[in-house]
Every structure is written in structure tokens, then in C-alpha cells.
Amino acid sequence: MTRYPQSAAAIAKAVSAGEIAAVEIVADHLERAQHSQDTLNAYTYLDHDAALDSAARIDATVAAGTDAGPLAGVPIAIKDLIDHAGRPNTAGSSLPPTVPTESATTVTRLERAGAVIIGRTGLHEYAFGFSSENHWFGPVRNPWEPTLAPGGSSGGSAAAVAAQTAAAALGTDTGGSVRVPAALCGVVGLKVTHGRVPLTGVFPLAASLDTVGPLARNVADAAVVYLAIAGHDAEDAWSAPRPVPSPGPPPPLPNITLGVPHPWVDLPQTREVADAFARVLEELADSGARIVNLDLPDLVPAAELELSVYPEVAIVHAERWAQHRDTYGPDVANRLSQVFEIDPLDYVRAQEWRGRVRHTAQHALNHCDALITPAVAASRKPIGQEHISVGTKVGSYRPHLSRFSALVNHTTLPALTVPLDLDGVPPPSLQLIGRQWEEHRLLEIGAALEQAGISGYRTPPHVAS
């Protein structure tokens, strides 16, 4: 194991105080990232020379007595569909990558905060899937067990953070693509309110649902990355000009009210997931948190989840599909063939459904601080296996992995996934869904769970030394 600080906050503090050089921190992470590639395949691109140059500039800033930023010297990885000037953006596809001349707003903001971008992480092709088993780049593998998928589509980002080859990472979340891999890899993942973090310079999946968010090993690290990237961007038509409150201290658990949405949480899930969820509800209640059961029959996944999204995906891929159909991997090609068959009337009806879901969820949060669900219905997806068992049923892995995440994007609300301090490979995870624009409150509650020992990161077996 490395002798250097492992949390983003600790790294930034040590670098800013001149106690350790950013170059040493970044070189160490790059070395471990390279060493992990044969086992995990988390990266599509490691930016050795430029990252070390950036770290040297951070060290020079500190030596000059200037504030190097809240992320000074922190090694961060970004999903390989987010633009970084001069670096190839593949979006996980087989087509020649674009090489942007400008960075995405989120990347620019990270670098201004002192972060060092060390590389680009693997993903499900075009972010259109939940396993990160990429036909062109090979599967990303889970640090808990390399025969398992890390989830998707931001699987490389989650694997890199879990395996300690990056202090934090950026992913995108359109239906759970930050939260699902966070859950399967045992790390923290934040899905922000739609419009909170700019999408400028991010390859789209469905812009009305797309979000960019952090993955980290603890809530405090997720918070500092979130604060660095959040805020209005005039270049992004979806971006909202609203203030970005910082999280306060963790509230006492007796001051928190959590709503359990039925029948959503009663839908099929593995015994391990169901037992962990029941146990954490009991632990929270024993610690003084108020747990309220809510009857929300409109708040369940439905066919409209896809019907309301697929036409947007069709718009993004129409030209590529017409000209380069053979360049898509079989998994994504199969899904795209369905995308172009949606009836416009079904799309309109699906938008009406989305409105009902949004209203139901937002109204429910008038009665509690957050809704609470499992993060996923199944936490183990073997690589190369399309079907998994949940209870007595065997079916496609996608609806099981997205059962508690995809619906949230249709509400626009923020959600936080945290790993539970319970046995499991990977450990089980919990999802908290908060009020619109109140990421700070979700982060406060997440920190309270860590403080109470209910949540916490554990080092997986496959971590580079």
C-alpha cells in the first residue's frame, strides 16, 4: 500500500501545507493505475507527462505561497466521454476519437481548483448500458472480484476510485451510471439535480436527463469535488443559475426523517440486498432517525422509463447509425435498433408519466429529508453473463441494476449512493434521494451515516500496491 494520504481532502491539505509534493502523489497514483490495468482495465488513457507537469505547477504555486485550491494536487480520473483539451475522447466507441481544443466546463473547474487529471476511464459504449463491458476496449473489472462487472456506464471511474488509483473521479448519470457502479464497487456516488453541474463538453446520451457527478471513497471527498464542478454555465442550455450551498456538519441522526417509498422498495431484489436494506433501516431507527413508510404507487419503474428517453438517444445517434452502423458493438447496436422504433405517441404519453413521477417524488419530500432505497436490486453481475438471478426469476441484468436508480433521473432530484458497513463482496449500498437543489443536505446525511458507522468504504482485495 502507498504511504501517501488516500483521501482527496487529506491530499489537498498535505500538498497545500508543503508536507508532500503533488508530483510525488500524482506519480504514485499513475504508477498504481498502470500496474492495475492488466487486472482491472479501468483506464482507456493515462496522461503521464501532462499530469506530472500539472502537478509540478501545483508545487510551484505552493512554494510561492499562493493558495493552490481546495483540490491541490488531488489525482482525479474522468470518464472517457468528457472533453479534456488535447486528449482523445473515445466515448467508448470504435470510431476515431475526437481531440477537443477546449476542456469540458467540469474539467476546467477541477483544474482551477488544483486537481490533476491523471487519465480517462473506461465505460459502456456511448454510456448506453450498465456493465462497462466494452466490446472495443474490453471489460472494466471490479476490484472486489475481477470476474464481476463494475456496473455502468461509469464503471472505470468507480473501479479506479475503489482500487485507489485515483482519489476521486467524474462519471455521468442518465439512469444510474454514477450510482450503479458506485454501488457495485463499494464507493460513494452523487447524482446531482439536473441542471446543477454543466454538461458543456460532455458527449450526450439523453440531455434532458444527463448529469455529471463525482465518485469518491467518502462523502467529504465527494462534496469537495461536487463544490468544485457545480454552478451555472451560460454555455449549457440545461444549466440553472442557482446558488450552490456548501454542506454543513453532519446532523444528529434523531434530527433526520427518512421516507421509505412503497411499493418501489418491495420490488424484486436479491436476498442479500433485501436483508441489508432491512438491517440498515433497523440500525437507523435504533440510532434515533425517524423512518416513515410512504405509499407512493406512482413511484415505480415502468415502460415509460425507456419510451421517454429513447427518442433523445435516437437524435444523438441518427447520423452515426445511418453511416456507421457496423461500428457499434453488438450490445449497443441491439439496443439502438429498438431506439429508432419508438412511436411518437408513446413518447408523448411517456412525458406525461414523467411529469406524474416528478410531482409524486417532489411532494413526498415535503414530509421527509430524503427518500431511502437500496442502491441496486442485485450487486453481482458476472462479466460475459447477460442474465442474472434475482429471487426466483432469471432475467436481463439491466433492469435489476437500474431498478432503484433510473427512476430518479426522471424526477430531476439528486441522489447519493453510499456503501454500507456490512459484509458482502461487494458490500451492499444504500441510496438517498433528496430535494431538488439540496445536494448539500444529502451530503450532510451521508456524512452522518459515516459518522455513526453505518456507512463506510472498505478496501477491496484487488488494490495495486
DSSP string, 126-139: GG-SSS-EETTTEE
pLDDT of residue 370: 98
Q: Rounded to an integer, what distance in angstroms lies between the CA atom of residue 414 and that of residue 56?
A: 36
Q: Is 79 a catalytic residue?
A: yes
Which tens digit of pLDDT belongs to each residue from 316-373?
999 999 999 999 999 999 999 999 999 999 999 999 999 999 999 999 999 999 999 9
Q: Which amino acid is at 426?
A: P
CB hemisphere CA count around 368 (13 angstroms): 21
- Which residues, in sequence order, are bridge partners of residue 138? 134
Apex 456 CA angle, 388 and 55, nearest 5: 100
Alpha helices in 163-267, H assignment, sequence order: 179-185, 219-229
Cis peptide before 153 (omega within 30 of 0): yes
Q: Given the C-alpha cell 502523489, which residue does it identify?
A: 25
* Mean local confidence (pLDDT), 404-431: 97
Strands 370-374 and 257-262, by their bridges, are: parallel
Q: Is 13 a catalytic residue?
A: no
Asked if residue 385 lies in contact with residue 312, where contact means CB atoms within 8 angstroms, the answer is no
Residue boundaries of the structural domains of the chain = 8-284+371-451
Phi, psi of 137 (to 5 degrees): -105, -5
* Count of other CB atoms within 10 angstroms of residue 244: 16
Q: What is the DSSP letter of 104?
A: -
Q: Given the C-alpha cell 423512518, which residue does it identify?
A: 291
pLDDT at 176 over 90: yes
- Kindly indicate the confidence band of residue 393, based on its pLDDT and cuts at 50, 70 and 90: confident
Q: 153, 239, 402, 405: which one is catalytic?
A: 153
Asked if residue 444 lies in contact with residue 201, where contact means CB atoms within 8 angstroms, the answer is no
Average pLDDT, the chain: 96
- Kindly indicate the confidence band of residue 3, based on its pLDDT and cuts at 50, 70 and 90: low
Q: Is 381 a catalytic residue?
A: no
- Kindly indicate the confidence band of residue 238, based on its pLDDT and cuts at 50, 70 and 90: very high
pLDDT at 2 over 60: no
Q: 79, 131, 157, 308: which one is catalytic?
A: 79
Q: Which of 120, 210, 205 is nearest to 170 (CA)?
A: 120
8-284+371-451 has CATH 3.90.1300.10 classification: yes
Which pTM was predicted? 0.97
Which tens digit of pLDDT belongs to each residue from 190-211?
999 999 999 999 999 999 999 9
Q: Which of 265, 263, 197 is nearest to 225 (CA)?
A: 197
Percentage above 70 pLDDT, the chain: 99
Q: 7, 54, 131, 177: which one is catalytic?
A: 177
- Kindly indicate the confidence band of residue 1, based on its pLDDT and cuts at 50, 70 and 90: very low
Which tens digit of pLDDT belongs to each residue from 10-43?
999 999 999 999 999 999 999 999 999 999 999 9
pLDDT of residue 5: 79
pLDDT of residue 4: 73
